[in-house]
A = this chain, B = another copy of it.
Amino acid sequence: MSSAVSISILISDDHFVVREGLRSILRREADFTVVGEAANGHEAAIAHAKLRPDVTIMDLRMPVCGGVEAIQKIRAADPAARILVLSNFEGDEDIHAALTAGAMGYLLKHSSGDQITPAIRSLMRGKRWIPQEVADNLASRKRGEILSEREREIVRLLVLGEANKEIAAALGITEQTVKSHVKNILAKLQVRDRTEAVTVALRRGIVHLPEV
């Protein structure tokens, strides 16, 4: 089934246990070789430049430098890089960001283990690997409902519990303008108030909780 050519793989995940698990799973395929590990996006970009693996398995949400940034860096240096995202998170924003950054595959961490190997082989054949579950999630992202950069900025401050007046001061705009943005955000996210907007934004991966 597998070709005679060895497939070199770079693992990027901040959790030691997950890296071990991936090594263990990948070891079972005779033609797979884990050539390196990275614990954050920065390390991943450096490791990729040095090792030029056939496939990179990438977690999103890593300290120092997130997965999406890492994907962008890697693809900028090597547009042919094949990156398989392996994430806990199913927010459409995360998925969309990863795919537009150039990821070729997207797996959820709680997916059964026998999906990783076929996903890697799919990428090696130049084919994308997007599970139906993930595709559905992305499809539910209605076009035109994506927040603009400014709106995401506002949401980031909403998460911190800032009042409109404080947001206005922070951004150097008027409270009325903030109200406008908040109104548009509420409409786009289809929520009733700013509190719900925060939880929906968090669930969809539009913003993340600030690190402790």
In the assembled complex, the CB of A93 is this many whole angstroms from the nearest CB of chain B, namely 13
Closest to A20 in B: B21
- Determine if A90 is an interface residue (Cβ-Cβ < 8 Å): yes
A17 and B24 alpha carbons, distance in the complex (Å):
9
Question: What residues of chain B lie closer than 8 Å to A203, measured between beta carbons?
Answer: 209-210, 212
Chain A interface (Cβ < 8 Å from any Cβ of B): 14-25, 86, 88, 90, 109-113, 116, 137, 158-161, 163, 191-199, 202-203, 209-210, 212
Contact of A20 among B24, B194, B197 (CB under 8 A): B24
Question: What residues of chain B lie closer than 8 Å to A193, measured between beta carbons?
Answer: 161, 163
Tell me how many chains of this kind the complex includes.
Answer: 2
User: Known contacts A14-B110, A90-B212, A212-B90: does B20 contact A195 (CB below 8 Å)?
Assistant: no
When the two chains form their complex, are residues A18 and B16 in contact, meaning their CB atoms are under 8 A apart? no
Contact of A17 among B18, B159, B161, B192 (CB under 8 A): B18
